[in-house]
Chains A and B, each alone.
Chain A
């Protein structure tokens, strides 16, 4: 008991992550570029705007952009219509994603799935037990407007759909956590969406989840979330093995 207490106490005073702020900004933007959240040719907001959005000093943003420029992920054009543009090409991007999948451990892949299910599965169960007709209408409309035609639109659509399901738990904390998960780990967890067959399966699974919520079946809703994420994890593991064998 005393030991537990002292471990808990020392955790309170453990050092905080002390990576430089510019490094954190660089990592955030690099991740977004490599994983295609920011797409080739896209113009980033101005330095001042980025600083405001990210809650850091302008000089920090400038330092991060310079670093990304040095690594050819961005180019900067001056003058009218200028700014920082994403320049990484599709081949380089695909190679970087493959590298990340190869570096993923089996334990990490399983953990991503469990983390996701803890939030989305629980929310789906609450939604099935508690959703009102207007909630169901909004959720169905959201999915009807979703597009799984390409990797980027599918990731955005599926992400939006999952946040909408979690919002039906009516827990602000779960919604924030899900958004955080999707920003940090979503592109890796749902890397399977680069495969057209997986996109089709994800769209069908989302529809089955809506049906289970509409049917008021909490257990089924949880299982649908579980089946969908298990498939994504299996794809990651298989892809990792395939890349390893090359």
Chain B
């Protein structure tokens, strides 16, 4: 176990960092906010942590914490700026925000190290720290996906107008989501640059958007667990499927395309509906004879309704 752990340390680190990055897109997406600002926050976090570590030799936790705070503030300001936008327009605005930051990093002169980036950001951050941070983040997110707050987020995603009429402060929730997304992205970026001791503009780009989206879409966008499934799959797939080798990108493309077209709820959604089907089947089999009629009759209106709505959707 421990030799395996040591020899796969880099992969373990990148699994958790990708998970945090994926969560920075998944959290807004769950609230129906199509924002890629998390990628920009990743850049902010990565550069802030590296600059603070190299120039002022601050401890790793302070460097990352400063990046997280800074990105959270930027996230709030961005939320105020793009408050009018929604859907694809919001997605495009936040993508351009993230890519703009990459160009800024290239042109930052001495502060950001230009096109070559920064080297030698040595700190005491270890895999255990990454694990602990990710565990706390996941616990908090999992708690927020349940109960009243979770239902509120669901309402805002499914029908913002309805949510407003139910007294949910949609605008405030959207701002909160931007702040959380900024903090998560910056946390991932900061930890990544301190663990790798380097950051360069090439590591921030459109490919990062693709990576994060890939994980969320294949895993499932509606829960942190989906992002976790995605992060594990796409970090470990290259090592498992070594024969895929140079066609790795092609496999990724196919996976994302198939998931986006045919399984919009991702692997998590498939697992959930499979589990529900399994349980429902288990319940019906023993109830033969007189008892069998009752649940059937109770399900009848529901089934009729769902048949109706699917017929409507097809039109």
B partners with A: no
Q: Residues of B at under 8 Å CB distance from A? A: none
